[in-house]
Amino acid sequence: MAQSKATPVAPNQKTPGNKRMLMIGVALLVALLLLLAGAVGYLFLNKNKEHGDEPTLGAPGTLPVFEKMEPFVINLSGEQGGMLQVEMETELAAESSREIVKAYNPKVRSAIIMLLSSKTSQELATAEGKAKLRNQIRKIINETIGASPDRPLVVGVVFTSFIVQQ
């Protein structure tokens, strides 16, 4: 029987092959940890952006976006007539909606004037009448700018001044 020329290795003694395997293992572990940290960081930073969308309305850390409109002075319809002076701001779904709403401003103002001039002072005298008007204005603005009903650009209308004179 032939004897091998390999020298016996003590259990606590490291060979150059073992040292190299240990270094490769540590390098792979560090690379895996870096990849995992990068993935977690990416997901954390982009948690509010699904498919490129803006953060959802009212999400923590987001502020509302308002766009002020020029005041309206309108003659009201009906036998008693009267006049309406109203100042309002639109609440936008996202900052990116601001330029779209500004671009459509002449068409939006025309549509709002047509709506306001069809109202009577009696309709606008109650809180329910004002709330209904806010919803109608919001709907008209979104229809005028071509926003889809399930993803409106204008999510609300706020009256900052509302004066009805008979």
Question: Residue 113 has what pLDDT?
Answer: 96
Let me know: does 92 contact 55? Beta carbons within 8 Å: no
| 58: amino acid identity, one letter | G
pLDDT tens per residue, range 2-13: 555 655 555 566
Parallel/antiparallel/unpaired status of strands 83-92 and 65-68: antiparallel
Name residues whose C-beta falls within 8 Å of residue 73's C-beta, 6 or more positions apart in sequence: 83, 84, 85
If you average pLDDT over residues 74-96, what whole number do you get?
92
Q: Does the pLDDT value for residue 1 go beyond 70? A: no
